[in-house]
Amino acid sequence: MISGKFTVNFYWRGSDFQFLYRLCLLSHIYQGHDCIVWLSGPPPKNEFWIDDLEKLGLVTIFDASEVFSTDDFKALGAHDMNTSDLWRMYFLYKLGGFYCDMDAVALRPWDDVMKSGWFVCSENNYHYSNGILGCPPGQSFLMEAANIVTLDNAGTVKKFTRVCQRHGIEFTHDTNLFYPYRTREIIVGKDLVYLTKTRIPDYAYSIHLFLNVLRMHYRYPYGIDRVVDSKGSVLHQLFSKISRDLPMVNESRTLGGIND
């Protein structure tokens, strides 16, 4: 990877690396971000995994256990999503920097979002988001937050909010810049909002797809065909652009006919 870029750290554990996770990561590459994926456990074996992007020098894959091993937590019955909630706290405590969930799409470069050394925002104008978070290393609130992560993820966001409030953590960015749509707004009728909307507010840096929410609560199919069939939608526009402007990616592993 090229040094001097804005570095975004991601975490992955599990075998189900779906199409939209890959495309979210490609959106960060497209915006010029230095993308580091911290892999816990064996790599996924399905077609959308990013080993080809690593070979192209577009992504760096590190062993997540070098920072903190989630194996014991997983062995207790934790969902892969919960291991991510735990790991990111240890990562930021030990190394600091910028962490981002794998299902956050980058709509523009994020180079200026950590000027203060911190990034804290809400996903609904009240609760603190741990899905996109940045800070210097050694912050005590992170270890307290790690201690409230449970096996079933029950109330994690609310508990994380209370921890941040106790430590006087303040929001650094407006909610709408990174969460223009909230969790309850991502489904319109029977469709995903980003597959029906043709435009996202110009000021937004990101859209969060909440893929785990879709999978766990809505049983929503979000495969490659959904994007291909949504001509003119936000996701179709974005990834048509990626497919067109990053030919090395398109040739390495097809985006599945996303081109216009």
30: domain CATH number is: 3.90.550
Distance CA 147, CA 69 (A): 15
Question: How many distinct structural domains can be found in the chain?
Answer: 1
**Nearest Cα residue to 220 out of 183, 256, 259, 179:** 183
Range of the domain at 225: 7-252
Residue 231 lies in a domain: yes
Distance CA 121, CA 67 (A): 24
The number of beta carbons lying within 10 Å of the beta carbon of residue 25 is 28
Indicate yes or no: pTM above 0.85. Answer: yes
Q: At what angle do helices 19-30 and 234-245 cross, to 10 degrees?
A: 60
* One pLDDT digit (tens) per residue for the chain, 260 residues: 344 589 999 999 999 888 889 989 999 999 999 999 999 999 999 888 999 999 989 999 999 999 999 999 999 998 888 899 999 999 999 999 999 999 999 999 999 999 999 999 998 889 999 999 999 999 999 999 999 888 776 678 899 999 999 999 999 999 999 998 877 777 666 667 777 777 878 899 999 888 877 766 555 555 666 776 778 888 888 878 887 887 666 544 545 444 44
Distance CA 229, CA 140 (A): 47
* Coil vs helix vs strand at 24: helix
Residue 259 lies in a domain: no
Residue 1 lies in a domain: no
Residue 260 lies in a domain: no
Residue 45 lies in a domain: yes
Residue 206 lies in a domain: yes
Residue 138 lies in a domain: yes
How would you classify residue 182: left for phi > 0, otherwise alpha for psi between -120 and 50, otherwise beta?
Answer: beta
